[in-house]
Chains A and B, each alone.
Chain A
Amino acid sequence: MTLELRNVVKSVGAETHIHETSLRLARQGFNILLGTTLAGKTTLMQLMAGLEQPTRGEVWFDGKNVTGVPVQKRNVSMVYQQFINYPNLSVFENIASPLRVARMSQAQIKARVQRIAELVRITPMLARRPSELSGGQQQRTALARALVKDADLVLLDEPLANLDFKLREEMRDELPKLFADRNSVVVFATTDPMDALLLGGHTATLRQGRLTQFGPTAEVYHRPADLVSAQVFSNPPINTASASKRGDHIILSDTVKWLAQGAVRELPDRTYVVGIRPHHITPVASGPATTRMAGKVQITELSGSESTIHFEHGPLHWVSQSHGIHAAEVGTTIELHMDVARCMYFGDGGKRVA
């Protein structure tokens, strides 16, 4: 089972909401749409579902052109960030409603509802009305309703955004298991890179209506194709600076330079944007090739497991993140170690060159 977008464009008036996009989603594992608010995630999902029609291009499902086929004629289930329940039905009946529509037997309905309720942890609430539940429980009821039927296409639009942190952590663990034995194409939109990393599968990075990269999640994270994909897939934000290559060296500032290694050696001499994720610049040296960098401490955040230091280096405002407890006095200048082998180099148009 596959879903394909072929050269799809969506415009509203003079505005282009989705620039030309081609994407092929398989049913193995989750397909993550990762991007900030207004990146185009919801619009893409609406195009996939048939809730919106593309201005140009085609939508194919299982080798059939379904462009123009309305959502009612497709076997789609959707979950939104703001969950919607039937207020006059019990939680059990809310979850059972798609199965009743499908005329499933009473025994089957009961078994299915029980299983899903267990999974989203609302079993003790099954007899209640939605209004008697907490916000989190209402959201889980709506999620359960979307998951209870076997849809060809399941679209999850930031379903965990309004859940408690711990519940979110558990659901991230449980959701892939729930879909493991299903024959559905699952699409999951989120603003949080950690969701993408832990749900695995494939990830598409989006910004301002443009798809910048699509591939296996770990691949996109570790080897972003361009600066935008790297930025979309970094939290805390990736540190960037303009640096120049001169002969054997990369020069970031008067005091910070290092020897170019590997593919970086082959790059022509000029200015590049260098990117480094916060956990690759730390108060304690890690990795074989580190370069020292002085930083004036602005803020430190110590969570016990990790230390986050916001620092200034000349005009740069950078962030360092490291394991354990590294207290640094605000206003003092400390020495940080940059694992330069982890640096990414971006050239014209933000394209990654090394």
Chain B
Amino acid sequence: MAKINLENIRHSYLKRPQGPQDWALQQLDLEWTDGGAYALLGPSGCGKTTLLNIISGLVRPSEGRVLFDGIDLTERPADRRHIAQVFQFPVVYDTMTVWENLAFPLRNRGLAAAEIEQRVQAIAQMLDLTEMLQKRAAGLTADGKQKISLGRGLVRADVNVIMFDEPLTVIDPHLKWQLRSKLKELHQRTRRTMIYVTHDQTEALTFAEQVVVMHEGSVVQVGSPIDLFERPRHTFVGHFIGSPGMNILPCEVGDGGVLFAGQRIDVENRPTVPLNGRRTEIGVRPEFVLLDERGIPVQIIKVSDAGRYRIVEARCGENPIKLLLEEGVAVPAGNAGVRFDPAHTRLYADGQLLE
């Protein structure tokens, strides 16, 4: 296991990058501590796979250094970095048994038979594969195969980091659920460094201790799931994390405070610097928009029953506002009023949280 540092990393797939748009990865510094559970979260094309490939050694960065425990590995090829990878589609040897699949990396390294047996049994038990060890891998379902891919990474003692690239995409929701919990449990038991790449916020937020959110080649925020939910530092994070995402509403800031739709809005953060001409918005999550007859007048457009809660779509002038209602709470129709919980309403300038 190792601590991983990315120093002044920047990457372009072009020979002579010109403007910022030519860089798949804008300059960044990141530290991944030993034993952490990380998620790398962002939409497709945000640079997360490039970043993953730089860590694994499949891509050599145009600029910067990759350090494992302080040792510069930038030039070291992928097969000599001791990294285990689990991909979107399970990679298993169909003709081998589950036992042989799990033992494969250990046999390759010439471990003694007794040690192989002991390790394979331990991993199989963690993954609930003990009953299936003598079965051929070909007969397993997608989630069973994905467990084997994972098990092959865990069985090795020399692995610096286990990286997952959208590992649950091909798994049905009800099994996704189980496999994700299993992964979290395995991390707690083994304390291996794990980096989980995904576009799915639910997977990222429930698995990781720290989430690295990427957007257009840059890291926009690194934080715990609770930080990202409660205090998004960028409107993109507010929108991308949470379902539905944060309401982002244009506002005016003057001597009278923050004004939205002609009403004064209490916000949690106060601008300490002059905003001269910057685009200002307030961000408030649907969870923190409350119905209040005396509040900002809105029109109710649509109510969707999401099972454990309902999503209400309202409109204030041109601005859509979403709010969540718990099961059993009465839903208004037509005209209604809303207010924003001041402890969870924040002011943004040009997309950045004012701090």
List residues of A whose CB falls within 8 A of some B CB.
36-37, 134-136, 162, 164-167, 169, 191-194, 197-198, 200, 217-218, 221, 235-237, 277, 279, 287, 298-299, 301-305, 308, 310, 321, 323, 325, 330
A325 and B226 contact, Cβ closer than 8 Å, known pairs A134-B44, A193-B307: yes
Taken together as a complex, chains A and B put the C-alpha atoms of A134 and B328 apart, in Å, by 42
**5 A–B contact pairs at CB < 8 A?**
A134-B45, A166-B201, A191-B173, A303-B225, A304-B205
Q: Contact: A305 with B229, CB < 8 Å?
A: yes
Q: Contact: A303 with B229, CB < 8 Å?
A: yes
Q: Contact: A135 with B44, CB < 8 Å?
A: yes
Q: Which residues does chain B contribute within 8 Å of A323, judged by CB atoms?
A: 287, 309, 326
Q: Contact: A200 with B229, CB < 8 Å?
A: no
**At the interface, is chain A mostly helix, strand, loop or mixed?**
mixed
Q: Contact: A237 with B240, CB < 8 Å?
A: no
A166 and B188 contact, Cβ closer than 8 Å, known pairs A277-B308, A279-B308: no
Q: Does B172 contact A (CB under 8 A)?
A: yes
Q: Contact: A194 with B205, CB < 8 Å?
A: no
What's the least CB distance linking B204 to chain A, in Å? 9
A302 and B226 contact, Cβ closer than 8 Å, known pairs A197-B304, A308-B206: yes
Q: Does B95 contact A (CB under 8 A)?
A: no
Q: Does B199 contact A (CB under 8 A)?
A: yes
A164 and B172 contact, Cβ closer than 8 Å, known pairs A134-B44, A305-B229: no
Taken together as a complex, chains A and B put the C-alpha atoms of A221 and B327 apart, in Å, by 13
Name the contact of A304 in the complex, choosing from B173, B225, B245, B328 (C-beta under 8 A).
Answer: B225
Taken together as a complex, chains A and B put the C-alpha atoms of A169 and B202 apart, in Å, by 12
Taken together as a complex, chains A and B put the C-alpha atoms of A167 and B199 apart, in Å, by 10
Q: Contact: A193 with B173, CB < 8 Å?
A: yes
Q: Contact: B172 with A197, CB < 8 Å?
A: no
Q: Which residues does chain A contribute within 8 Å of B177, judged by CB atoms?
A: 235-237
Near A by CB (< 8 A), chain B positions 161-209 give 169, 172-175, 177, 181, 184-185, 188, 199-202, 205-207
Q: Contact: B45 with A299, CB < 8 Å?
A: no
Q: Contact: B174 with A237, CB < 8 Å?
A: yes
Q: Contact: A165 with B287, CB < 8 Å?
A: no
A221 and B173 contact, Cβ closer than 8 Å, known pairs A304-B228, A325-B226: no
Near A by CB (< 8 A), chain B positions 30-87 give 43-45
Q: Which residues does chain A contribute within 8 Å of B201, judged by CB atoms?
A: 165-166, 303
Name the contact of A197 in the complex, choosing from B43, B169, B206, B306 (C-beta under 8 A).
Answer: B306
Which of the listed residues A166, A235, A237, A302 has the most CB atoms from chain B within 10 Å of its own CB?
A166
Nearest chain-B residue to A300 (Cβ)?
Answer: B184
Taken together as a complex, chains A and B put the C-alpha atoms of A49 and B133 apart, in Å, by 42
Near A by CB (< 8 A), chain B positions 252-296 give 285, 287
Nearest chain-A residue to B227 (Cβ)?
Answer: A304
Using a Cβ–Cβ cut-off of 8 Å, how many residues does chain B contribute to the interface with A? 45
Q: Which residues does chain A contribute within 8 Å of B307, judged by CB atoms?
A: 193-194, 197, 221, 277, 279
Taken together as a complex, chains A and B put the C-alpha atoms of A135 and B226 apart, in Å, by 31
Q: Does B355 contact A (CB under 8 A)?
A: no
Q: Which residues does chain A contribute within 8 Å of B181, judged by CB atoms?
A: 299, 301, 310
Name the contact of B226 in the complex, choosing from A36, A134, A194, A304 (C-beta under 8 A).
Answer: A304
Q: Does B7 contact A (CB under 8 A)?
A: no
Q: Which residues does chain B contribute within 8 Å of A277, judged by CB atoms?
A: 307-308
Q: Contact: A299 with B304, CB < 8 Å?
A: no
Q: Mark B304-320, 1 if CB is under 8 A from A, else 0.
A: 11111101000000000
Taken together as a complex, chains A and B put the C-alpha atoms of A167 and B42 apart, in Å, by 12
Q: Which residues does chain A contribute within 8 Å of B202, judged by CB atoms?
A: 165, 303
Name the contact of B188 in the complex, choosing from A200, A321, A330 (C-beta under 8 A).
Answer: A330
What's the least CB distance linking B341 to chain A, in Å? 12
Task: For the A-B complex with A165-B201, A305-B285 known, give 15 more contacts whose Cβ atoms are closer than 8 Å.
Answer: A37-B172, A165-B202, A166-B43, A166-B239, A169-B243, A169-B245, A192-B173, A193-B307, A198-B304, A200-B304, A303-B206, A304-B226, A304-B241, A323-B287, A325-B226
Which of the listed residues B242, B285, B307, B327 has the most CB atoms from chain A within 10 Å of its own CB?
B307
Q: Does B297 contact A (CB under 8 A)?
A: no
Nearest chain-B residue to A310 (Cβ)?
Answer: B181
What's the least CB distance linking A42 to chain B, in Å? 14
Name the contact of B44 in the complex, choosing from A164, A193, A221, A321 (C-beta under 8 A).
Answer: A164
Q: Which residues does chain A contribute within 8 Å of B207, judged by CB atoms?
A: 301
Q: Which residues does chain A contribute within 8 Å of B285, judged by CB atoms?
A: 305
Taken together as a complex, chains A and B put the C-alpha atoms of A217 and B307 apart, in Å, by 10
Nearest chain-B residue to A221 (Cβ)?
Answer: B307
Which of the listed residues A167, A200, A304, A308 has the most CB atoms from chain B within 10 Å of its own CB?
A304
Which of the listed residues B230, B285, B308 has the most CB atoms from chain A within 10 Å of its own CB?
B308
Taken together as a complex, chains A and B put the C-alpha atoms of A267 and B281 apart, in Å, by 57
Q: Contact: B244 with A169, CB < 8 Å?
A: yes
Taken together as a complex, chains A and B put the C-alpha atoms of A169 and B243 apart, in Å, by 8
Q: Contact: B242 with A305, CB < 8 Å?
A: yes
A166 and B229 contact, Cβ closer than 8 Å, known pairs A237-B174, A323-B326: no
Taken together as a complex, chains A and B put the C-alpha atoms of A218 and B240 apart, in Å, by 27
Q: Mark B216-240, 1 if CB is under 8 A from A, else 0.
A: 0000000001101110000000011
Q: Contact: B305 with A218, CB < 8 Å?
A: yes
Q: Contact: A301 with B43, CB < 8 Å?
A: no
Q: Which residues does chain A contribute within 8 Å of B327, judged by CB atoms?
A: 279
Taken together as a complex, chains A and B put the C-alpha atoms of A248 and B348 apart, in Å, by 57
Q: Contact: B44 with A198, CB < 8 Å?
A: no
Q: Contact: B199 with A164, CB < 8 Å?
A: yes
Q: Contact: B199 with A165, CB < 8 Å?
A: yes
A36 and B174 contact, Cβ closer than 8 Å, known pairs A304-B226, A308-B206: yes
